[in-house]
A and B are shown apart, each in its own frame.
Chain A
Amino acid sequence: MSEKVAYLSQEWRDEVEKRFKAELSPEKMKFITTSVSYIYTGCPDGKDRCLYFKCDNGNFVEVAVEEGPPRQAEFVITGSYDLFSKLTQGIISSQRALMSGKLKVKGNMVKALKLASLADRMNKIMSRIPATY
């Protein structure tokens, strides 16, 4: 894929789902069952959006980009569009973003620690999608 897609657009979501399914096997995802809602505040059009992932036994069963009330999930991570877009592009690390206090996390921290490396794998895949931010 050489054409750029708009970040958080339907095309971008489709590409994320395609790449996750191709590159992250259930084995690589440690057969986890979980869900995460990333709540983006202050998107360029002024709206808030939610990027939602649901994984069942290591299979991605849902990837969604939505407006409106954010989806309930095992983990809810809230931050600005600007910060999340830098994360997705690999401009800042998730560790730095989390430790700066600019992201607000809800969920069981102990389980989150177990999932941190998987989240990094997902971020790396998303960072390789040519996109306009």
Chain B
Amino acid sequence: MTQKPQNDPYFIDFPGRLARIQDTMAKENIDLYLGSRLRTLSWVTDAFCPWRSYIVIPAQGLPTVFTFVIDAARVADDSWLDEDHVLGYAPLGGMDQIGQIADFITENVGLKKGRIGIETGMSNYLPEGNLTHYEYESFRAALPGFELVNSHDIVDRLALIKDEGTINRFREASRIVDIGHRAVRDAISNGGWKGMTETEIAGIAALAMRKAGSVWEWSFTGGNEIACGYRTGLAGGACTPASTKELKAGEPLMVDIHAMFKLALGDHSHNYLIAPATDRQLWHAKNFVDIVALTLKTYKAGISPVSLAEQMLEFAESRGFAEYMVPGFEHGIGMLGDEWRIGMNDGPMPYWTNPEHVYRENELLICAMQYACPQENIGFRYENPILIGKDMCEPMSHFILDVEVID
């Protein structure tokens, strides 16, 4: 383990992470790990790898990243790895990603045969980064004598419980998100919303968060997700890239914004009603706020996604709004690229969250809830990273839980 520098709350022991991967590889008879998922690259390198990238982890020693040559120097600069361990691939003879990595394994690492752990599977999240069929076949052809075995669960298992530095990075990302929310509220209050579009709100939040240190409105779902009017109530609609729709009096407004700080992700959604609000709209709003409050109170170690969903839907049924609830209350979260599945790939539906997953202390997830009533053109969304504790959870965004009515 490397020494934690004094006064660095965001310190992560990356060599320690690497050592734990290598220990697990040894136990599972994996001679070399060839990672390709964005979540793996983030978790091991501490650098954002937006281009198709791979990480070769030998049984001992430092890993080597391969990324598109135009970005390799920047990745090396951001990462804890030096430039000799972040190499660029390019469309040149011997320098393409398959040929270069295969040569690296056989010549630089010196392996002539063995078991290579790869990352494959499926995801509903576009940038997951599993090895493609073409890549798999090409590596198989370029590396005769090697067995390619699916090993992504090594990183998944090790990344599940968050360390102090990761948790603090998430806290900071959420603090930044709260600044974005305050900027939006300031901008739309007292009639400021008039003539404003969803895209402008996305930009106001983005500017405030960038000023506060966010490096990206990270979500691949369109950055800051803003919806107003009927778009808030789209059935099951938990994805609303901002559009040019203008805000209008008497309509709801959903502000779901994202910040990234040292690859940790802020993700919080706040909701408004633009005055005048009807009694019916306020009834919907109260339903939503109450179920979010109850959900946050319920999250703790020992519960599971399905047990929580059963409790919350029972509450919604008792209050007469179950039909408006999307029956899911979470999505996974980790360093950039780890955005969807909760826990391990060990549920009844491969590569989806195991509904019986039992939460443990220091797991992080997004408490994510969607309330949608399409027939009344109204809906609300709540998202907030939460840290699972023994008897409670810690919501990381501290922005007020309310559906605010603004004039």
Instruction: Please report the C-alpha to C-alpha distance between residue A108 and residue B84 in the assembled complex, in whole angstroms.
Output: 8
Can you name the residue of chain A whose Cβ is closest to the Cβ of B83? Answer: A110
Residue B320, interface by CB 8 Å: no
| 4 closest Cβ pairs, A-B complex | A104-B94, A109-B88, A104-B93, A101-B93
Residue B158, interface by CB 8 Å: no
Can you name the residue of chain A whose Cβ is closest to the Cβ of B71? Answer: A110
A103/B93 contact (C-beta < 8 A), A109-B87, A109-B88, A110-B83 known: yes
Are A102 and B72 in contact, with the CB atoms below 8 A? no
Are B89 and A109 in contact, with the CB atoms below 8 A? yes
Are B95 and A109 in contact, with the CB atoms below 8 A? yes
Q: B94 — which chain A residues lie within 8 A by C-beta?
A: 78, 103-106
Instruction: Please report the C-alpha to C-alpha distance between residue A108 and residue B72 in the assembled complex, in whole angstroms.
Output: 10
Instruction: Please report the C-alpha to C-alpha distance between residue A113 and residue B73 in the assembled complex, in whole angstroms.
Output: 11
Q: B141 — which chain A residues lie within 8 A by C-beta?
A: none
Chain B residues near A (Cβ < 8 Å): 69, 72-73, 76, 83-84, 86-95, 100, 103
Residue A98, interface by CB 8 Å: yes
Q: A99 — which chain B residues lie within 8 A by C-beta?
A: 91-92
Chain A residues near B (Cβ < 8 Å): 78-79, 98-106, 108-111, 113
Instruction: Please report the C-alpha to C-alpha distance between residue A34 and residue B88 in the assembled complex, in whole angstroms.
Output: 18
Are A109 and B72 in contact, with the CB atoms below 8 A? yes
Count A/B pairs, Cβ under 8 Å.
Answer: 46
Decide if the interface of chain A is mainly helix, strand, loop or mixed. mixed
Can you name the residue of chain B whose Cβ is closest to the Cβ of A113? Answer: B69
27 contacts between A and B (CB under 8 A): A98-B92, A100-B93, A101-B93, A102-B93, A103-B94, A105-B94, A105-B95, A106-B103, A108-B83, A108-B84, A108-B87, A108-B88, A109-B69, A109-B72, A109-B87, A109-B88, A109-B89, A109-B90, A109-B92, A110-B69, A110-B73, A110-B76, A110-B86, A110-B87, A110-B88, A111-B83, A113-B69
Q: B92 — which chain A residues lie within 8 A by C-beta?
A: 98-99, 101, 103, 105, 109
Q: Shortest CB–CB separation between residue B227 and chain A, in angstroms?
A: 43
Q: Shortest CB–CB separation between residue B68 and chain A, in angstroms?
A: 10
Instruction: Please report the C-alpha to C-alpha distance between residue A100 and residue B95 in the assembled complex, in whole angstroms.
Output: 12
Q: B89 — which chain A residues lie within 8 A by C-beta?
A: 109
Can you name the residue of chain B whose Cβ is closest to the Cβ of A102? Answer: B93
Can you name the residue of chain A whose Cβ is closest to the Cβ of B76? Answer: A110
Instruction: Please report the C-alpha to C-alpha distance between residue A108 and residue B89 in the assembled complex, in whole angstroms.
Output: 9
Q: B87 — which chain A residues lie within 8 A by C-beta?
A: 108-110
Instruction: Please report the C-alpha to C-alpha distance between residue A106 and residue B309 in the assembled complex, in whole angstroms.
Output: 55
Instruction: Please report the C-alpha to C-alpha distance between residue A110 and residue B69 in the assembled complex, in whole angstroms.
Output: 6
Q: B88 — which chain A residues lie within 8 A by C-beta?
A: 108-110, 113
Instruction: Please report the C-alpha to C-alpha distance between residue A52 and residue B59 in the assembled complex, in whole angstroms.
Output: 34
Instruction: Please report the C-alpha to C-alpha distance between residue A99 and residue B95 in the assembled complex, in whole angstroms.
Output: 10
Q: B95 — which chain A residues lie within 8 A by C-beta?
A: 105, 109
